[in-house]
């Protein structure tokens, strides 16, 4: 898989709850996209004062049709760059690079899979659910958010999953609480073979720890701040334990964004653990 | 200056295609283009080779490598700033052994020209790095990073002290092939960059790379603390371009024949032209790569167009062109003024 850089045309921008869904033409990208891949979008046009691209998980792709390949991303407006994006309209042109990153690994056997999405972290789980079902895997989905408005794609997920469980911190929809409150019972009930998760770091940590305690394989898509998205800048690193037992600072953009849940040192994200390869002896780098 | 002649007019309905020889001789490194990558913004070429043919640009300047593997600093390592960014990576890298085995050998096999950037904590580490590179195939030049702002001890920014800078360059020169082009990468965070340039040239540098990032800082208004885990970081991008052009100008003025690689916020061919007119023999493009991974090749093409449009037949003709004397008419006016 080799990523490409293309000009995409905005086909549609629509509000969904607290988010915006942007549909773009993406020639050459959609055919090679797998669940968990992401794209980066150039912000503000050619003379932009915002020099860094913004990364988004690919939500959906349509490979065929009159536009020759289109993709959807879900945008949460957090700052100037995402606001600019949310203000794009039909026919505007956006620079796209993708597909990027390591996608989710799919099981060879027909095991039961539990998919967990926090906020708009549910976006890449749609394609994943479809492909798992095509392989004959049972798919159960849990989505959680602080409040109803910040859930994404509840109706569509209901259609894709054997069961959909919703949790909100404020109880505005579904169970009052967090995804990890309902996860253990669900994993037991369906005899989960794999857990997939995408969402904020805190949620990923809790899900990965639960899965690891139960000796269940987990795959987590992280959301780290990136500058380049293609592996050259080294800003998006997280501490990950390798097969050799050595911790390294790995780039979320090329060695992730999907990591094995039991390999990421979640509690140490944002630090350099002292036993990391090349860690400073004292005082920091 | 000879003027390039556009041999044929534009075909009806097409843009005129104007080409010139972009070949550049940078301190003996023969390159098909004066456009290089900037250290730290292209890793070791592999990733960018997906977006353009890295053998078609001047050279890949690799991310500064140290003797040992290095984890770098905690995250957040980056903050976007107006027309720029702060980075606080802290020289994360694989160490020289793995770099030679895994990265340099790939670049050599790929046929890319390579300028290897090295960084040490002590003069001795720089000497050892140079010695390791002496026997490694595929090194076209060495860039000595004496100006990374992201180190634990600001006293270690060798480029801020002419004597310390000279000590490093002397050590690298002594341990390198005498014919190896060696560039000292200078910091703009000094009072007298020309003085530092003079010092490293006396110590054996073949040329200079100007500029590294400027030391900067961002405070997050939500957390009301420094945004970067490393507190301070290096500012790069178009925001620093005028500072970089000024540094190139000053050094070219002082050293008419010194090989200079100019860099700092280049985003377009016209930006690259500015550096060349100020006196850069070649340019490195860095932060723009994060915005546009194909940009080195695009900037090469835009620069070619800009040079042709201005009547230059070679890149060398344009180097330092902004330093030429004032137009004769103006000079006469000046003389009249003085005689009164």
CA angle A202, A208, A211 (to 5 degrees): 145
Q: How confident is the model at residue B325 (pLDDT cuts 50, 70, 90)?
A: confident
Give residue-wise pLDDT tens across range B98-157.
999 999 999 999 999 999 999 999 999 999 999 999 999 999 999 999 998 776 666 568
Quote the domain boundaries for residue A79: 4-100
Query: How far is it, in rounded angstroms, from Cα A122 to Cα B49?
Result: 33
Question: Which residues of chain A have a CB within 8 Å of the CB of B51?
Answer: 3-5, 230
The CATH number of whichever domain residue A41 belongs to comes to 2.40.30.10
- Nearest CB partner across the interface for B71, out of A227, A278, A283: A278
Give residue-wise pLDDT tens across range A139-186.
999 999 999 999 999 999 999 999 999 999 999 999 999 999 999 999
- Tell me the nearest-neighbour CA distance from B12 into chain A, angstroms: 27
Same domain, A75 and A88: yes
Query: Taking an 8 Å Cβ-Cβ cutoff, which residues of chain A contact chain B?
Result: 2-5, 42, 48-53, 81, 95, 97, 224-225, 227-228, 230-238, 248-249, 254, 269-272, 276-280, 283-285
Say what the pLDDT of residue B1 is.
41
Helices (H), chain B: 96-98, 105-110, 123-134, 162-174, 193-202, 241-254, 269-278, 288-291, 295-309, 315-318, 328-339
Say what the pLDDT of residue B340 is.
40
Structural tokens at position A63: 């490979």
Same domain, A83 and A10: yes
Q: What is the total count of domains within chain A? A: 3
Say what the pLDDT of residue A67 is.
74
Q: B293, A97: Cβ pair inside 8 Å? A: yes
Q: A237, B152: Cβ pair inside 8 Å? A: no
Q: A232, B48: Cβ pair inside 8 Å? A: yes
Who wins on pLDDT, B49 or B327? B49
Q: Please enumerate, as own/partner, the contacts of A198-202 that have beta carbons within 8 Å and a separation of 24 or more.
A: A198/A36, A198/A57, A198/A116, A198/A117, A198/A118, A198/A121, A198/A122, A198/A123, A198/A124, A198/A125, A198/A223, A199/A116, A199/A117, A199/A118, A199/A119, A199/A121, A199/A122, A199/A144, A199/A223, A200/A118, A200/A119, A200/A121, A201/A266, A201/A269
Say what the pLDDT of residue B326 is.
65
Q: How confident is the model at residue B5 (pLDDT cuts 50, 70, 90)?
A: very low
Handedness of CA B142, B148, B150, B152 (dihedral sign): positive
Same domain, A183 and A243: no
- Tell me the nearest-neighbour CA distance from A214 into chain B, angstroms: 30
Give residue-wise pLDDT tens across range A225-269.
899 999 999 999 999 999 999 999 999 999 999 999 999 999 999
Query: How far is it, in rounded angstroms, from Cα A221 to Cα B61?
Result: 32
Same domain, A61 and A17: yes
For B95, name the nearest residue in chain A, comparing CA atoms only.
A278
Contact status, residue A216 vs residue A41, Cβ threshold 8 Å:
no
Question: Which residues of chain B have a CB within 8 Å of the CB of A29?
Answer: none
Say what the pLDDT of residue B255 is.
98
Question: Which residues of chain A have a CB within 8 Å of the CB of B70?
Answer: 278, 285
Last residue within a domain, chosen from A100, A127, A154: A100
Query: With 70 as the cut, is the pLDDT of residue B331 above it?
Result: no
Same domain, A26 and A109: no
Q: A230, B73: Cβ pair inside 8 Å? A: no
Q: How confident is the model at residue B14 (pLDDT cuts 50, 70, 90)?
A: very low
Say what the pLDDT of residue B18 is.
80
- Nearest to residue A217, comparing CAs of A193, A188, A241, A249? A193
Last residue within a domain, chosen from A71, A100, A129: A100
- Tell me the nearest-neighbour CA distance from B238 into chain A, angstroms: 8
The CATH number of whichever domain residue A163 belongs to comes to 3.40.50.80
| B79-87 mean pLDDT | 97
Determine what percent of chain B is predicted with pLDDT higher than 90: 86
Q: B89, A224: Cβ pair inside 8 Å? A: no
Query: With 50 as the cut, is the pLDDT of residue A20 above it?
Result: yes
Same domain, A110 and A173: yes
Same domain, A160 and A202: yes
Q: A276, B68: Cβ pair inside 8 Å? A: no
Same domain, A208 and A113: yes
| B75-83 mean pLDDT | 96
Residue with tokens 């000094």: B190
By CB atoms closer than 10 A (0-12, 13-18, 19+), residue A242 is exposed
Tell me how crowded residue A142 is: count the other CB atoms within 10 A of its CB: 31
Contact status, residue B166 vs residue B199, Cβ threshold 8 Å:
yes
By CB atoms closer than 10 A (0-12, 13-18, 19+), residue A5 is buried
Question: Which residues of chain B have a CB within 8 Å of the CB of A283?
Answer: 152
Query: How far is it, in rounded angstroms, from Cα B66 to Cα B152?
Result: 15
Same domain, A17 and A118: no
- Nearest CB partner across the interface for A5, out of B42, B51, B151: B51
| A88-97 mean pLDDT | 97
- Tell me the nearest-neighbour CA distance from B73 into chain A, angstroms: 6
- Nearest to residue A51, comparing CAs of B80, B132, B205? B80
Q: B75, A270: Cβ pair inside 8 Å? A: yes
What residue ranges define each of the domains in chain B, with the CATH number in brackets?
24-339 (3.20.20.70)
Q: A232, B291: Cβ pair inside 8 Å? A: no
Same domain, A74 and A182: no
The number of C-beta contacts closer than 8 angstroms across A and B is 128
Last residue within a domain, chosen from A223, A244, A277: A223
Say what the pLDDT of residue B329 is.
52
Query: How far is it, in rounded angstroms, from Cα A241 to Cα B146?
Result: 32
- Nearest CB partner across the interface for A278, out of B68, B229, B291: B68
Q: B42, A234: Cβ pair inside 8 Å? A: no
Same domain, A90 and A114: no
Give residue-wise pLDDT tens across range B267-324.
999 999 999 999 999 999 999 999 999 999 999 999 999 999 999 999 999 999 999 9
Kindly report which listed range (A84-98, A186-200, B6-20) carries the lowest average pLDDT score. B6-20
Question: Which residues of chain A have a CB within 8 Å of the CB of B77?
Answer: 234-235, 237
Same domain, A126 and A219: yes
- Nearest to residue B285, comparing CAs of B111, B44, B59? B59
Question: Which residues of chain A have a CB within 8 Å of the CB of B93?
Answer: 278
User: What Cα–Cα distance (Å) separates residue A55 from each residue in A41, A252, B300?
Assistant: 6, 11, 27
**Whether B160 is catalytic:** no
Say what the pLDDT of residue B129 is.
98
Give residue-wise pLDDT tens across range B220-277.
999 999 999 999 999 999 999 999 999 999 999 999 999 999 999 999 999 999 999 9
Q: B152, A270: Cβ pair inside 8 Å? A: no
- Tell me the nearest-neighbour CA distance from A283 into chain B, angstroms: 7
Give residue-wise pLDDT tens across range A23-65.
999 999 999 999 999 999 999 988 899 999 999 999 999 987 7
Determine what percent of chain A is predicted with pLDDT higher than 70: 99
Q: B72, A234: Cβ pair inside 8 Å? A: yes
Say what the pLDDT of residue B235 is.
98
| Best A100, A234, A246 residue to mutate vs chain B (most B CBs within 10 Å) | A234
């Amino acid at each position: 898989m080799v990523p490409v850089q293309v000009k995409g045309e905005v086909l549609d921008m629509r509000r969904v709850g607290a988010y915006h869904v942007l549909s773009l033409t993406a020639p050459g990208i959609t055919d090679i996209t797998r669940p968990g891949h992401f794209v980066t979008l150039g912000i503000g046009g050619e003379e932009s004062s915002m020099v860094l691209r913004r990364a988004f998980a690919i939500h959906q792709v349509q490979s065929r049709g009159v536009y020759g390949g289109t993709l959807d991303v879900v945008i949460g407006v957090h700052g100037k760059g995402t606001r600019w994006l949310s203000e794009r309209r039909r026919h505007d042109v956006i620079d796209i690079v993708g597909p990027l990153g390591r996608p989710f690994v799919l099981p060879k056997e027909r095991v039961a899979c539990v998919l967990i999405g926090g906020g708009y972290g549910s976006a890449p789980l749609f394609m994943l659910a479809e492909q798992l079902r095509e392989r004959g895997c049972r798919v159960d989905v849990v989505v959680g958010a602080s409040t109803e408005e910040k859930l994404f794609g509840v109706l569509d997920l209901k259609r894709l999953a054997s069961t959909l469980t919703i949790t909100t911190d404020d109880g505005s929809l579904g169970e009052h609480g967090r995804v990890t409150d309902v996860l253990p019972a669900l994993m037991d009930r369906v005899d989960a073979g794999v857990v997939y998760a995408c969402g904020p770091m805190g949620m990923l940590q809790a899900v990965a720890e639960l899965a690891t305690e139960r000796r269940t394989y987990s795959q987590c898509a992280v959301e780290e701040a990136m500058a380049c998205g293609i592996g050259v800048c080294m800003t998006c690193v997280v501490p990950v334990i390798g097969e050799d037992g050595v911790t390294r600072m790995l780039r979320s953009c090329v060695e992730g964004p999907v990591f094995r849940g039991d390999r990421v040192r979640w509690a140490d994200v944002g630090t350099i653990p002292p036993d990391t390869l090349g860690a400073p002896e004292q005082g920091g780098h | 200056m000879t003027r390039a002649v556009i041999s044929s007019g534009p075909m009806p309905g097409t843009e005129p295609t104007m080409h010139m020889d972009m070949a550049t001789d940078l301190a003996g490194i023969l390159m098909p283009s004066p456009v290089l990558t900037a250290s730290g913004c292209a890793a070791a070429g592999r990733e960018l080779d997906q977006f353009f043919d890295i053998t078609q640009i001047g050279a890949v300047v690799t991310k500064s490598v140290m003797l040992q593997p290095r984890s770098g600093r905690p995250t957040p390592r980056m903050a976007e700033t107006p027309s720029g960014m702060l980075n606080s990576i802290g020289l994360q890298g694989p160490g020289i052994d793995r770099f030679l085995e895994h990265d340099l050998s790939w670049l050599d096999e790929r046929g890319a020209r390579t300028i290897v950037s090295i960084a040490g904590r002590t003069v001795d580490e720089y000497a050892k790095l140079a010695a390791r590179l002496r026997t490694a195939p595929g090194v076209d030049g060495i860039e000595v990073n004496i100006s990374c702002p992201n180190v634990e001890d600001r006293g270690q920014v060798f480029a801020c002290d002419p004597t310390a800078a000279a000590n490093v360059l002397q050590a690298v020169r002594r341990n390198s092939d005498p014919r190896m082009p060696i560039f000292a990468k200078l910091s703009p965070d000094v009072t007298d960059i020309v003085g530092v340039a003079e010092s490293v040239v006396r110590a054996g540098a073949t040329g200079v790379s100007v500029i590294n990032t400027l030391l900067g800082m961002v405070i997050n208004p939500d957390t009301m603390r420094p945004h970067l885990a490393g507190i301070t970081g290096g500012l790069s991008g178009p925001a620093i371009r005028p500072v970089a052009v000024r540094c190139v100008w000053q050094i070219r003025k002082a050293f008419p024949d010194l090989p200079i690689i100019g860099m700092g916020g280049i985003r377009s061919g016209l930006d690259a032209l500015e550096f060349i007119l100020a006196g850069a023999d070649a340019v490195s493009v860095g932060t723009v790569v994060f915005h546009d991974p194909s940009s080195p090749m695009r900037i090469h093409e835009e620069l070619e167009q800009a040079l042709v449009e201005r009547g230059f037949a070679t890149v060398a003709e344009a180097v330092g062109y902004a330093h030429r004397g004032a137009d004769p008419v103006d000079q006469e006016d000046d003389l009249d003024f003085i005689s009164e």
